[in-house]
């Protein structure tokens, strides 16, 4: 062995990520997040709504909250905002200083902690299936993703919490704890309705593997958990034994979710996807005698059927599950109408996991990171700095929308193509060995 070989080996060993370096990396990531949430930056529309909901939850209580608030969130995440409000009230008993950094930072803290937790889950999912170095390196690649950091620590949105829950459910599915995963997904849906995206993955990955009774347990157990979580917000009236009163929480929840969905009845709500060219155009607009909404749902339906067939052919192959989850989640952003700009975020964690077993996905991951950053940055500029946004020529803005949307379509089809050319017999080990340089 030459001196150059010895130097190369020492360098490789130095660059390898072990558990110590991983937790040091997580600590740095957490410090970076905490630094950013201490700065006076946020997406003002969202953070002001979160502040108002937090105060109303404490002052009005759960039962009266929806009567005093314009909140369009289902109840589950509101418990976290209530806890934040109760804690904040210690420092500001009369809520006279809600414009301070403190309340904003406290509201941003749950998604920040969820981002760190997501990195831990990614490493946990990958460690039994690849090298320790790869598992930790990919987890750090995710937690230091600039789009992930921006959405949680700067924008102040809660999508990171949903990503954490999705990863948790995915881990349970891989361990064949399907009932637990189904109940967790039911809870996810009343954190944010976008939890339904992973419900589709549960269906396509398990429809051929699980006994019928497990689906019944998931259905009725999910309804029971949902009912218990939403009950304090909606109640059941005086006649608690009446069937109609028992159904009241479900009816009121459905009406709220339906109202929210109809409020955003546009082909795209600033999402640079296949509908980016029709941004803020009503999705009941007709093309070839079919509405945009129906075209989007049909496209998603076709994708779902194909991925179900793909996973059936792969018989629960871990690499195939990773690829299908990433494709399903990005498909939920790309294909239906009414999508918002941040919904791309849900797929990134699963693309990161896929890097360990399908090397080409790393280019798709970074491609969507760049386009997602442009998409989120466009919206942040448009609503936070309207005067600057309005100073930019309209043709420039439209070029960005059309160009990024087209590039996203290309990236999506490259990812989808991986499911078409995916070999049945290739092992996870063979694929992971090709990514030692990650």
Q: Concatenated DSSP letters for 221-285? A: HHHHHHHHHHHHHH---S-TTSHHHHHHHHHHHHHHHHHHHHHT-BSEEB--STTGGGBT-BTT-
Beta bridge partners of 290: 287
Report which secondary-structure segment, H or E, holds 290: strand 290-291
At 62-106, the pLDDT tens digits run 999 998 888 989 999 999 999 999 999 999 999 999 999 999 999
* SS3 state of residue 339: strand
Q: ∠ CA(340), CA(105), CA(151), 5° rounding?
A: 25
Q: Is the pLDDT of residue 25 over 90?
A: yes
Contact 318, 175 (CB under 8 A): no
* SS3 state of residue 119: helix
Beta bridge partners of 270: 340
pLDDT score at 4 = 43
Q: Is the pLDDT of residue 132 over 60?
A: yes
From 157, 148, 237, select the one nearest 194 (Cα to Cα).
Answer: 157
- Cα of 307 vs its chain's centroid, Å: 19
Q: Residue 42 gets which letter from DSSP?
A: -
From 336, 328, 327, select the one nearest 268 (Cα to Cα).
Answer: 336
**Which stretches of 144-195 are DSSP H helices?**
146-149, 159-174, 178-189
pLDDT score at 234 = 87
Q: Return d(Cα 179, Cα 185) in angstroms, integer.
A: 10
Q: What is the CA radius of gyration of the chain?
A: 23
At 282-306, the pLDDT tens digits run 999 999 999 999 999 999 999 999 9
Give residue 5's pLDDT band: very low, low, confident or very high (50, 70, 90): very low
Q: Residue 193 gets which letter from DSSP?
A: G
Cα-flanking dihedrals φ and ψ of residue 290, to 5°?
-130, 140
pLDDT score at 262 = 87
The predicted model gives 405-412 an average pLDDT of 98
Q: Return d(Cα 85, Cα 51) in angstroms, integer.
A: 9
Q: Return d(Cα 375, Cα 367) in angstroms, integer.
A: 12
Q: Return d(Cα 249, Cα 237) in angstroms, integer.
A: 10
Give residue 8's pLDDT band: very low, low, confident or very high (50, 70, 90): very low
Report which secondary-structure segment, H or E, holds 286: strand 286-287
* SS3 state of residue 34: helix
Q: Residue 152 gets which letter from DSSP?
A: I
- 255 Cβ neighbours under 8 A, 6+ residues apart: none
* SS3 state of residue 430: helix
pLDDT score at 259 = 85
From 185, 220, 333, 231, select the one nearest 272 (Cα to Cα).
Answer: 333
Q: Residue 291 gets which letter from DSSP?
A: E
- 430 Cβ neighbours under 8 A, 6+ residues apart: none
Contact 356, 403 (CB under 8 A): no
Cα-flanking dihedrals φ and ψ of residue 283, to 5°?
-85, 0
Give residue 243's pLDDT band: very low, low, confident or very high (50, 70, 90): low
Q: ∠ CA(342), CA(344), CA(345), 5° rounding?
A: 75
Report the 10 Å Cβ neighbour count for 259: 10
* Mean model confidence pLDDT for the chain: 91
Q: Return d(Cα 240, Cα 325) in angstroms, integer.
A: 41
At 369-385, the pLDDT tens digits run 999 999 999 999 999 99
């Amino acid at each position: 062995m030459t001196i150059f070989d010895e130097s190369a080996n020492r360098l490789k060993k130095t660059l390898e990520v072990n558990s110590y370096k991983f937790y040091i990396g997580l600590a740095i990531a957490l410090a970076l997040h905490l630094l950013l949430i201490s700065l006076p930056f946020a997406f003002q529309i969202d953070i002001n709504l979160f502040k108002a909901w937090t105060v109303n939850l404490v002052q009005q209580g759960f039962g009266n909250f929806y009567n005093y608030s314009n909140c369009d969130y289902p109840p589950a995440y509101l418990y976290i905002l209530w806890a934040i409000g109760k804690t904040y009230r210690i420092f500001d008993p009369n809520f006279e200083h809600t414009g301070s950094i403190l309340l904003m930072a406290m509201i941003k803290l749950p998604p920040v902690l969820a981002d760190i937790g997501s990195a831990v889950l990614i490493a946990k999912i990958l460690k039994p299936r690849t090298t320790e170095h790869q598992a930790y390196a990919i987890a750090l690649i995710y937690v230091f993703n600039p789009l992930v950091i921006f959405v949680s620590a700067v924008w102040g949105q809660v999508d990171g919490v949903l990503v954490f829950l999705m990863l948790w459910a995915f881990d349970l599915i891989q361990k064949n704890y399907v009932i637990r995963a189904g109940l967790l997904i039911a809870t996810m849906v009343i954190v944010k309705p976008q939890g339904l995206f992973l419900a589709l993955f549960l269906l396509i990955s398990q429809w051929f593997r699980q006994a019928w009774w497990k689906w019944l347990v998931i259905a009725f157990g999910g309804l029971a958990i949902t009912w218990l979580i939403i009950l304090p917000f909606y109640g059941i009236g005086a006649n608690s034994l009446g069937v109609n009163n028992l159904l009241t929480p479900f009816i009121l929840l459905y009406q709220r979710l339906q109202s929210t969905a109809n409020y955003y009845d546009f082909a795209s709500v600033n999402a640079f996807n296949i509908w980016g060219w029709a941004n803020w155009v009503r999705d009941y607009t007709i093309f070839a005698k079919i509405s945009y909404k129906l075209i989007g749902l049909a496209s998603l339906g076709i994708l779902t059927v194909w991925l179900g067939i793909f996973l059936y052919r792969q018989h629960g192959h871990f690499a195939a599950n990773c690829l299908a989850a990433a494709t399903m989640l990005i498909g939920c952003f790309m294909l239906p109408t009414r999508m918002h700009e941040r919904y791309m975020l849900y797929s990134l964690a699963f693309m990161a996991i896929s890097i360990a077993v399908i090397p080409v996905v790393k280019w798709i991951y970074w491609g969507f990171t760049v386009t997602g950053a442009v998409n989120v940055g466009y919206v942040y500029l448009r609503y936070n700095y309207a005067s600057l946004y309005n100073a930019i020529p309209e043709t420039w803005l439209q070029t960005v929308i059309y160009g990024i949307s087209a590039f996203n379509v290309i990236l999506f089809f490259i990812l989808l193509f991986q499911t078409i050319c995916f070999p049945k017999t290739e092992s996870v080990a063979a694929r992971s060995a090709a990514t030692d340089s990650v």
